[in-house]
Amino acid sequence: MPLSVVQAGRRVRVVAVDAGHGLEGRLAALGLAPGEEIEVLRNGLDGPFLVAVKGSRLALGRGMAQKIRVA
Amino acid sequence: MKPMKKKLTAALAGNPNSGKTTLFNELTGSRQHVGNYPGVTVERKEGSCRYGGVELQIVDLPGSYSLTAYSAEEWVARNFIVNEKPDVVVDILDASNLERNLYLAVQLMELGAPLVLVFNMSDMARARGFEFDLEKLSRFFGAQIVETVGHKGVGIKELLSAAVTTAQQNGSGGTRPFVLDYGREIEAELSKITALIQAHGRVKGNYSARWLAVKLLENDKELKASVAAPEVHEQAARSAERIEKITGETPETVMAGRRYGYISGACQEAVRSTIEIRRTISDRIDSVATNRVLGLPVFLGLMYLVFQLTFTVGDPFMGWIEKAFGWLGGMVEGWWPEGSGSLLKSLLVDGVIGGVGGVVVFLPNILLLFLAIAILEDSGYMARAAFIMDRLMHKIGLHGKSFIPMLIGFGCSVPAIMATRTLENRRDRLATMLVAPLMSCGARLPIYALIIPAFFPEAWHAPMLWIIYLIGILLAVVSAKMLRSTLLRGESVPFVMELPPYRMPTLKGILIHMGERGGLYLRKAGTIILGLSIVLWAMTAFPRLPEEEVAHFEAARQAVAAGMATEQEKVESLAAIGNEEGEAALKHSIAGRVGYAMEPILKPMGFDWRIGTALIGAFAAKEVFVAQMGIVYSVGEADEESETLRDKLKSAYNPLIGFCIMLFCLVSAPCMATIAVTKRESNSWRWALFQLAGLTALAWALTVLVYQIGRAGGIGS
């Protein structure tokens, strides 16, 4: 399922990131790569997303959250 | 063994928010210099310090997450390390978020850079229950490790000592690049590419063939362009395809995964976490600050505070500066006999002191504004503001971070344009820069303050002002949207941003930050604005009135002086003559003539040559419009409270024209300081002139439209 439907407070594992070249590398550098366990801190519904990855907090645009598949 | 070097270069690398700048300030104190990297608007900060008889040149590289050049900052950081080959690279890491921060360290190791790792904010890490086995970690990462607490200056000596010894070792033996095992499939592809690179001649840069192969596989655009041989490209493409087929992921993702694998392996062995903290204090603050309901009010409240600070606290200081320049002008004026028409006097008093003073007067505002911004940035709140505003800004094709510059624009366009630096994407940044002047700045307020009471009844005053500001905002929104879908078309950068933990800003950091910006502003006032002020002054001063006219006014003056009127009446008549002479002189000057010449384009807007001349003055600084109107209407020194001037305006124009003046001043040609700063920040005259021409054309078209429709509708006539 896309990250965008995950509710705040849930921990999920990243399955795949379909963001295209360049951006995928950047996300991976930030720790957002397949296999990584992340926690959704805030799901803005129509606004941006807040997730906890590797001890840091990342804000993701809604479009971005749709491109990240989690389980 | 080579002799010990006496001068060393150390580059500070590290993730954004790792406390790198704080350490840099701690290391170099005030001995720093800020410039720009050639071709990009990334700040280049350098400083120096001495340690044990060695002179260290320290370069603070822009914050980067990796060495794959994703943003201009990362590109600059990587090129510096690769091309300028510093004697040592000091990688600053946030020790409380070690794994993520070590990612850059691994890449630096792969590059073979002589490395020192700095575990910064180690006090915070300890408070979070982390225990590091530094000896083990040092072996894993092939570098000396130093613990520091940047804002307290703890560990600075150790840092310097480690940097110097590493640099000296590097000078005598060199560091061998670390070879990370990427796993059988990728290694097989890497060796194929490496072999081809070596077969096609030597590697151009300061890196190994393997490193280049890794970057090619990661699809690094810049390095790809540096390789000429088509065979290498073909192999890299084939390899990437194979890896994607086998793993189902892009090579860069797989390789990032391997790097993180190495890091977490090392951390499992050498880092112990004694307490589990699920919610940090930062998270608790964020549950309010980024809350869907509370986030916006908190944000607006903070912005209100910023404005209050900037404009109310700044006011008395502005008054003092104004007074100081007034005093200076008066003193210089005193060097000549009263009423002297000396050109030099006019140049110094009206041109230089008046022009530069008009800009320097905003310095307190600018300093306070940057103080507030520095606090917001260093505390970590700025990232939250961008987060909150992203949805709204996204709708108009801009980035969440565009909001801050636009808000600052209500104060002054110059710092607003400077604040666009936080935007990574050039298109987002340019679009923001171009529309920022539409936010009605503080210098335009005197114009509205003069016009509105002259033409509109009391009850309309406040709504009228709101309407003007609102028009500016609407135009900015529409223009941004238009720019982003035409000239600056392109994907808006998907919003991905780290929200750094909240931190107490340090006084030193904030002061340095503020001082830098203030210095830049002052330097501009001393150079470009000084030059343009003189040009504008010359336009209003030349050509001078012919002799006989001057004689005519002189005769009139003498007649008054010799007349029978009372002292009081004499002073008034003399002032009237002076004003008349001023008007005649202005009419005769280039500015006046240009105003006349412009009448054909001014007419459709309902303007006459007088307004045209005042508009030329407004280009120097918007508020000059008021003073210039005072001169053309011979009321002498006028300010926005001048009732005489208002009466004159009321008899010469109608409310429709009054509104048109405000509309035109709102939209048209941003002042020359804005143009200059746009040029500097966009690194091109093209965008600066585009901004000037575009906004002026927009202003003209709109004003004509409003005037013509208004007239046809019978308003104001």
For residue B207, give the nearest of B54, B322, B81 by alpha carbon. B81
Per the CB < 8 Å rule, is A50 touching B495? no
Nearest chain A CA: its distance from B40 CA (Å): 20
- The span from the first CA to the last CA of chain A, in angstroms, equals 6
Of A24, A48, A59, the CB nearest to B253: A24
**Which chain A residue is nearest to residue B282, measuring alpha carbons?**
A57
H or E element in which residue B48 lies: strand B43-51
The three state secondary structure string of B54-69 is EEEEEEECCCCCCCCC
Q: Encode pLDDT of B453-483 as tens digits.
A: 889 998 888 888 889 988 998 999 899 989 9
Domain A3-70: which CATH number of 3.30.70.20, 3.30.70.270, 3.20.20.70, 2.30.30.90:
2.30.30.90
For residue B104, give the nearest of B63, B49, B59 by alpha carbon. B63
Q: What percent of chain B has pLDDT over 90?
A: 25
| Structure-model confidence comparison of residues B239 and B339, the more confident one | B239
Of A22, A46, A60, the CB nearest to B495: A60
Interface with A, mutate which of B387, B428, B502 (most A CBs under 10 A)? B387
Per the CB < 8 Å rule, is A53 touching B100? yes
Question: How is residue B44 written in tokens?
Answer: 């280049």
Nearest chain A CA: its distance from B11 CA (Å): 21
Nearest chain A CA: its distance from B598 CA (Å): 49
Q: What are phi and psi of B184, to 5 degrees?
A: -55, -50
Task: Give B-chain residues touching A29 at CB under 8 angstroms.
Answer: 65-66, 68, 70, 103, 256
Of A22, A24, A56, the CB nearest to B100: A56
pLDDT at B40 over 60: no
Give the count of beta carbons closer than 10 Å to the beta carbon of residue B700.
Answer: 17
Per the CB < 8 Å rule, is B103 touching A29? yes
Give the count of beta carbons closer than 10 Å to the beta carbon of residue B686.
Answer: 10
Per the CB < 8 Å rule, is B498 touching A63? no
Of B248, B495, B499, the CB nearest to A64: B495
Rg (CA), chain B: 31
Break chain A into its structural domains and give their ranges. Answer: 3-70
H or E element in which residue A43 lies: strand A37-43
Band (B173; pLDDT cuts 50, 70, 90): low
Per the CB < 8 Å rule, is B250 touching A21? yes
Q: What is the mean pLDDT of residues B9-30?
A: 88
Interface with A, mutate which of B65, B271, B496 (most A CBs under 10 A)? B496
Nearest chain A CA: its distance from B253 CA (Å): 6
Band (B640; pLDDT cuts 50, 70, 90): low
The contacts of residue B230 (CB under 8 Å, 6+ apart) are: none
B63-77, B133-147, B526-540, B695-709, range with the lowest pLDDT: B526-540
Per the CB < 8 Å rule, is A34 touching B65? no
Question: Are B618 and B665 spatial neighbours (Cβ–Cβ below 8 Å)?
Answer: yes
Burial class (CB in 10 A: 0-12, 13-18, 19+), B642: buried
B54-68, B77-91, B504-518, range with the lowest pLDDT: B504-518
Distance, in Å, from the CA atom of B430 to the CA atom of B614, rounded to the nearest integer, reads 30
> pLDDT at position B707, please?
94
> pLDDT at position B149, please?
92
Of A46, A48, A55, the CB nearest to B99: A55
Confidence (pTM): 0.76
Q: What angle do CA B411, B412, B415 make, to 5 degrees?
A: 115
Q: What is the mean pLDDT of residues A9-33?
A: 85
Per the CB < 8 Å rule, is A59 touching B498? yes
**Which chain B residue is nearest to residue A59, measuring alpha carbons?**
B497
Per the CB < 8 Å rule, is A58 touching B498? yes
Task: Give A-chain residues touching B93 at CB under 8 angstroms.
Answer: none
Distance, in Å, from the CA atom of B443 to the CA atom of B622, rounded to the nearest integer, reads 6
Nearest chain B CA: its distance from A55 CA (Å): 5
Band (B92; pLDDT cuts 50, 70, 90): very high
Q: What are phi and psi of B131, to 5 degrees?
A: -125, 125
pLDDT at B636 over 60: no
Nearest chain A CA: its distance from B57 CA (Å): 29
B248-257, B408-417, B512-521, B588-597, range with the lowest pLDDT: B512-521
| Structure-model confidence comparison of residues B416 and B527, the more confident one | B416
Q: What is the mean pLDDT of residues B160-187?
A: 84
Task: Give B-chain residues touching A62 at CB under 8 angstroms.
Answer: 391
> pLDDT at position B133, please?
93
Task: Give A-chain residues touching B391 at CB under 8 angstroms.
Answer: 44, 46-48, 62
- B173-212 b/e with 16+ CB inside 10 Å = b? eebebbebebeeebeebbebbbebbeeeeebeeebbbbbb
Interface with A, mutate which of B130, B252, B268 (most A CBs under 10 A)? B252
Per the CB < 8 Å rule, is A22 touching B219? yes
> pLDDT at position B37, please?
61
Task: Give A-chain residues touching B425 at CB under 8 angstroms.
Answer: none
Q: What is the mean pLDDT of residues B73-84?
A: 87
Per the CB < 8 Å rule, is B66 touching A26? yes
Nearest chain B CA: its distance from A5 CA (Å): 17
Question: How is residue B305 written in tokens?
Answer: 């505070």
Burial class (CB in 10 A: 0-12, 13-18, 19+), A69: middle
Distance, in Å, from the CA atom of B438 to the CA atom of B397, rounded to the nearest integer, reads 16
H or E element in which residue A13 lies: strand A11-17
Nearest chain B CA: its distance from A18 CA (Å): 9
Nearest chain B CA: its distance from A56 CA (Å): 7
Per the CB < 8 Å rule, is B498 touching A50? no
Distance, in Å, from the CA atom of B73 to the CA atom of B65, rounded to the nearest integer, reads 10
Task: Give A-chain residues touching B386 at CB under 8 angstroms.
Answer: 59
> pLDDT at position B1, please?
45
In this complex, how many residue pairs, one in chain A and one in chain B, have their CB atoms less than 8 Å apart?
125
Mark out the alpha helices in chain A (DSSP H runs).
Answer: 23-29, 62-66
Task: Give A-chain residues touching B500 at CB under 8 angstroms.
Answer: 56-57
Q: Report DSSP letters for B430-454, one per residue.
A: HHHHHHGGGS--GGGHHHHHHHHHH
Task: Give A-chain residues touching B218 at CB under 8 angstroms.
Answer: 25
Per the CB < 8 Å rule, is B66 touching A25? yes
Of B100, B252, B383, the CB nearest to A25: B252
Per the CB < 8 Å rule, is B70 touching A63? no
Distance, in Å, from the CA atom of B229 to the CA atom of B509, rounded to the nearest integer, reads 48
Nearest chain A CA: its distance from B671 CA (Å): 36
H or E element in which residue B92 lies: strand B88-94
| Structure-model confidence comparison of residues B606 and B532, the more confident one | B606
Question: Are B438 and B667 spatial neighbours (Cβ–Cβ below 8 Å)?
Answer: yes
Q: Encode pLDDT of B208-233 as tens digits.
A: 889 999 999 988 888 888 888 888 89
Burial class (CB in 10 A: 0-12, 13-18, 19+), A13: exposed
> pLDDT at position B240, please?
92
Distance, in Å, from the CA atom of B423 to the CA atom of B401, rounded to the nearest integer, reads 6
Enumerate chain B positions whose Cβ falls within 8 A of a Cβ in A: 65-66, 68, 70, 96-100, 103, 218-219, 221, 248-250, 252-253, 256-257, 260, 282-283, 286, 290, 292, 383, 386-388, 390-391, 394, 400, 494-501
* Residue with token string 């493409």: B237
